[in-house]
Structure formats: structure tokens, C-alpha cells
Amino acid sequence: MATMQDILDAMRSDIKNSSFFANRYVQMVMLAILLAVVSGGMYVGYTFYNSYRNQQAQQELSVCIEEYLRAVSGAGELWPTVEMNCQLGYEHNSSSDLAPYFVSLQVQALLHQNKQEDVPALLDTMMRKLSSSSPLYHLYKTQKALIELDLGTENGLVSLQALAEDQKNTNRDIALYYLGLYYWSHDQVEQAQKPWKELVEQFAASPWSQSVAIKLQQVA
């Protein structure tokens, strides 16, 4: 069984070695939350431990995590196996509290195989399983928007704009950062300044605010 340090080391390696636009912050946060949930958050309480359905899901999810760790640690040939087993795990446990997390790992396996086109539909499936009040909800919506941007679809920019404007989005700083980054990377400096200025003014303590302050100074 992997230790928490094994999981964190693999997570850091996964992020460092990834290059697609949607990855960096959102993948890190989602994996951190997933691993926190798997290591403790969801595994507490008499009801959970005594639910056969969730116990079975826990066992299958543990296998998926072990396979994920092996794949991200260098056994890249395992990604199709991770994808398949996570899909089967979701199908076996779709009514479990852990169902969304099978999909989360399947998404990572698909991204490592450059199958981004299959990801948005899976993220839709995951979000249908999550309450809109879940701390994961807007993070997954943001990842979906960024992957759609990678794929060149108009939905990506529209969704990211909506997330940046949504006052109920508890991760709005992320959306503002990536919206500005999208425009900046397309040499639309004036359009990039609006979300970034809002980020700096409203989320001064956010690390993403600090990271764009220098860029804003460059064009001031």
C-alpha cells in the first residue's frame, strides 16, 4: 500500500512533467483534494465504514490509486490499464459516494495518453455526481473549460468567462487568472488586463494575483 508521501511525490512529478494548458494549478489542486479525501476525509464515520457499497468502492479505488502511482512513477505503459480499471470501477460503484473519484483518475489517465477529446464528457459525468456546493465542483468546471480551450472549442472560452464572473465560484481567482492568461498568450494584452486587474484588486492574497502583478507592471 502506498504511503501519503508516495502519493504526494507522484503528484508533484505528474504536475512537473505535464505540459498541456489545462494542467498546472487545477490538476494539482484536484489531485490534492482527491488524495486528501481518499486518505481520510471520506473514510470517517460509522455510516461510511458500515456501508457495504462504500467499502467495496474503497477497495476498488485503492487499486486504481496504486496503478496510477505506478504509471506516474515511470510505468507509462500502464495508463491504458488505469483508464480501463477506473472506468470499470465507476461502473461498479456509480451509486457510491466515491464514484466521482474513479472518474477523476480516469481523466488523468486519458490526459496522459493525449486523449483530451474524451475528457469533457467525463467531467460532465463527474459534476452530475457532485453537489454544486462541493469544493471540487468549480475546480472541475475550470479544468473542463481549460481542456476545451486546448481542443480549440468556443465553449471553453465562454465557460471560463462565466466562471470568472460567477460570484458564487469559490475559486474565481483561478478562472480570472486563466482568462487573463488566455488573452495574454494570444497577444490580446488589453483584454488580458481586465480579469487580471480584477484578480489583483479582489484577491490580493491569492498566489495567482502575485504572479500577474509583474506582467501588469510591464504594460502599465
How many Å apart are CA 33 and CA 37, to the nearest integer?
6
Work out the pLDDT band at 161, boundaries 50, 70, 90.
very high
Tell me the percentage of the chain whose pLDDT exceeds 90. 34
Could you tell me which residue, 115 or 3, shows the higher pLDDT? 115
Could you tell me which residue, 53 or 102, shows the higher pLDDT? 102
0.85 exceeded by pTM: no
58: its cell numbers: 474503497
Work out the pLDDT band at 168, boundaries 50, 70, 90.
very high
CB 33 within 8 A of CB 140: no
Q: Answer yes or no: is pLDDT of 3 > 80.
A: no
DSSP state of 78: G
Q: Answer yes or no: is pLDDT of 195 > 80.
A: yes
Strand segments, DSSP code E, in the chain are none
Q: For 84-98, what is each residue's pLDDT tens digit? A: 999 999 999 998 888
CB 176 within 8 A of CB 48: no
List, as own/partner pairs, every contact residues 12-18 make where C-beta atoms lie below 8 angstroms and the sequence separation is at least 24, other chains included.
13/72, 13/73, 14/72, 14/108, 18/111
Work out the pLDDT band at 110, boundaries 50, 70, 90.
very high
Q: Stretch 18-22: mean pLDDT, rounded?
A: 46
Please give the mean pLDDT across all residues of the chain. 80
